[in-house]
Structure 1
């Protein structure tokens, strides 16, 4: 939970004049929106240049997965070799010559909420470039860090109190997420549930304002679009039954994935071993991409395939195992990135696998219905944010209202199982990776 604070005085918000705090909120939304838009455009540029598809048309009709699948095997391996060199040299140099990185969670929890500007900016650019070159990690941490580091500086220049700065840094992170994925409500809930762990009025208003502003600013370059196309499907008693039964399984696997990812990050080298390890890791991923182009990138492509009912049980099982392996291996090699979309990918693949068994016993349902519920439940458990995961899943797909019911049941089972397993393992329940 957030640190206790004294109630704000009339006409003030936690100590500072409202016009000053309001100005920082607006500027934070603008910075997050511009930063998220710029980083997303940079990602698209790197993807198109690396794999040679629709160069000059970064918002064309060809998806990243289609571009990768259309590239030659040699080009895929070459792109991942470059990715390994960029990752190894970049993160080794960052750790060798720059100030130590401060994560968003550390900045929010610490007395000093500042993050090193140059090191954090370089860190965000490395994440975007490597994901564009095919890294299997997520891109969502980069815009969150970019927004947070500059929002912290804005708060300092405005003379905000320590508690206000803490809230602004957290809001900036949620706004960065909102901008890059066009998820204003989900971004605000991420701030409140995963970072601040509060729904105080003094946090809710800036969280909503910054996320809304950032999303609308990002429309200028990214458009008002959502991430995944979800077909119109109706729920049934069978789907609700599956969501209740599958929730604990999704939660148990998400718990194992979170532990494996945390252990890999903890064991990652901080010295020159980063360079050969990253090179070998990403060259191996490049070779795997020859038969499985779906492994490259954060996982958006496989999720969309599952939502289009184009993944068989066998391919879904293979992608689940391989995606899990390459994500953990990349973290162990020293690469950095998010786990939001990779986690959703694992959930969608696992749900698609179980759909085959369920449909063999009960009246068959479209695999897409299982996939979207599995993705949302896995996200809720792996990142310990059930409410934000439900809203993010909706904003990602704009599914029909009725799908909230099976999604809620699956999230309850998954999150509850993950919390229970964390307690059995004697571990705290962290939030917001």
Structure 2
């Protein structure tokens, strides 16, 4: 078989194009890792500052209470103002926007989204809203990658590759979970295996994670005590846990969408006012229970070690179940993954504690059910089981419960599908498309406005 010169030149051109893509991805990945790590460190400082302020305010009676509530309200309001004024696409998680761009339903957002997502996300999550850090880092990663592609004048095909890879690098940086970043890109963002996307994502992560670990260290996010593999008699319980997680996921998705629908009914009121009222509500909760506000990593950690009694966990679960959708309705930057992991760990711990009480003859570790519950609830809401399993395994540095997670995630995904409940990001992408239409209508109205000069 002979190869023509044209074919050789074409192959050489494709090789050069791939190498150029990898080189750009390596550089962009380092920047994304740095930005994502600084964002995470800044959030940790914001959480400590909030806790310090609350402790100080408790010594000043009513004035302290008003200061905390007012500060949370102002921070949320300013975050919403920044989004409205400078980058409307920065509201919410950011993952639905990235998916809409990858599906070529809307164009990429301007680079101004990145600083807005950073500072407004810091204000919103730092004020105590129950939102995750991964939403901002995913969208910032995608924004930085698109900016790099534009500077290097790449075509749309390679720009799309870098956008997906940057989003994966942002997720991996947020949770110190590089493999989950790759799986997230292939499973959730593009829904198929693409060699060029895989290579670009691996290149991004090859620099993003080492740079991020210079700031964050290489330890896993959560500490888990050694867990034994469940006895054969206990294995069916994980399938039941998957069913419980699937039903809870349906309820959570509908609660979140209902919160957004209520918000949309008040669309004529200033977004800053709505966000300020939600921030004030969070400030009131922070005054009485400061450990229940914010992203929730500490809550997840307590669930994974079985630190609190089932009654306290149940009450915290109910509060967080409503606080997450309420916080998302504020329209500020913030993700869903971290709050989902909180609810999954809490529901799994409660289920495990109930099983141990009802079946004392079995060797049941409620903490094992908490870990499996994280992946199962995530799967029920997002419908990305591989991402959920790998993410939880990396964040806990535990692979003992992989098989129970497979069974639980199977049922947690199957049940919502049978009940025709759409994945949450599909529903939120529809909101993103409506937002894009509103932005275009406003821009069109501004361009048609008469010049009064």
Q: TM-score, normalised by structure 2?
A: 0.82
Question: 2:147 matched to which residue of 1?
Answer: 153
Aligned-partner Cα distance in 1 for 2:369–2:358: 15
Question: 1:305 matched to which residue of 2?
Answer: 302
Alignment of 1:272-351 (within 5 A): 272-351=269-348
What per-residue deviation string (whole Å, max 9, x for no partner) do you get for residues 253-310 of structure 1? 1122123223433553556533333233222222223443331111111111111111
Question: 1:63 matched to which residue of 2?
Answer: none
Q: Does 1:261 align with 2:253?
A: no
Aligned-partner Cα distance in 2 for 1:287–1:262: 24
Aligned-partner Cα distance in 2 for 1:432–1:350: 24
Aligned-partner Cα distance in 1 for 2:236–2:220: 28
Moved more, 119-128 or 199-208: 119-128
Note if contact 1:309-1:366 (Cα within 8 Å) is conserved in structure 2: no
Q: Provide closer, same or farther for how the CA distance between residues 220 and 76 of structure 1 changes in structure 2, counting only shifts above 3 A.
A: farther
What per-residue deviation string (whole Å, max 9, x for no partner) do you get for residues 164-213 of structure 1? 21121111011011112210000111111111111121121222221232
Aligned-partner Cα distance in 2 for 1:306–1:25: 38
Question: 2:115 matched to which residue of 1?
Answer: 121
Moved more, 155-164 or 273-282: 273-282
Note if contact 1:147-1:176 (Cα within 8 Å) is conserved in structure 2: yes
Note if contact 1:51-1:71 (Cα within 8 Å) is conserved in structure 2: no
Alignment of 1:22-421 (within 5 A): 22-52=22-52, 72=58, 78-96=67-85, 98=87, 101=90, 103-110=97-104, 113-237=107-231, 238-265=233-260, 267-268=262-263, 272-362=269-359, 363=362, 365-399=364-398, 401-421=399-419
Aligned-partner Cα distance in 2 for 1:217–1:93: 29
Segments of structure 2 that go 5 or more residues without pairing to the other structure are 1-8, 429-453
Considering only CA atoms, is the larger Rg found in Structure 1 or Structure 2?
Answer: 2
Moved more, 345-354 or 261-270: 261-270
Deviation of 1:120 after TM superposition, in Å, equals 4.0
Secondary structure (helix, strand or coil) at the match of 1:138 reads coil
Taking only aligned residues, the RMSD between alpha carbons, in angstroms, comes to 2.7
Q: TM-score, normalised by structure 1?
A: 0.86
Aligned-partner Cα distance in 2 for 1:366–1:71: 39
Segments of structure 1 that go 5 or more residues without pairing to the other structure are 1-7, 54-67
Note if contact 1:281-1:329 (Cα within 8 Å) is conserved in structure 2: yes
Aligned-partner Cα distance in 2 for 1:366–1:172: 38
Deviation of 1:320 after TM superposition, in Å, equals 1.1
Q: Give the helix-richer structure, 1 or 2.
A: 2
Secondary structure (helix, strand or coil) at the match of 2:129 reads coil
Aligned-partner Cα distance in 2 for 1:324–1:44: 23
Aligned-partner Cα distance in 2 for 1:392–1:254: 18
Note if contact 2:132-2:337 (Cα within 8 Å) is conserved in structure 1: yes
Deviation of 1:118 after TM superposition, in Å, equals 1.5
Deviation of 1:319 after TM superposition, in Å, equals 1.0
Note if contact 1:69-1:293 (Cα within 8 Å) is conserved in structure 2: no
Aligned-partner Cα distance in 1 for 2:283–2:316: 15
Aligned-partner Cα distance in 2 for 1:76–1:341: 28
Deviation of 1:239 after TM superposition, in Å, equals 4.0
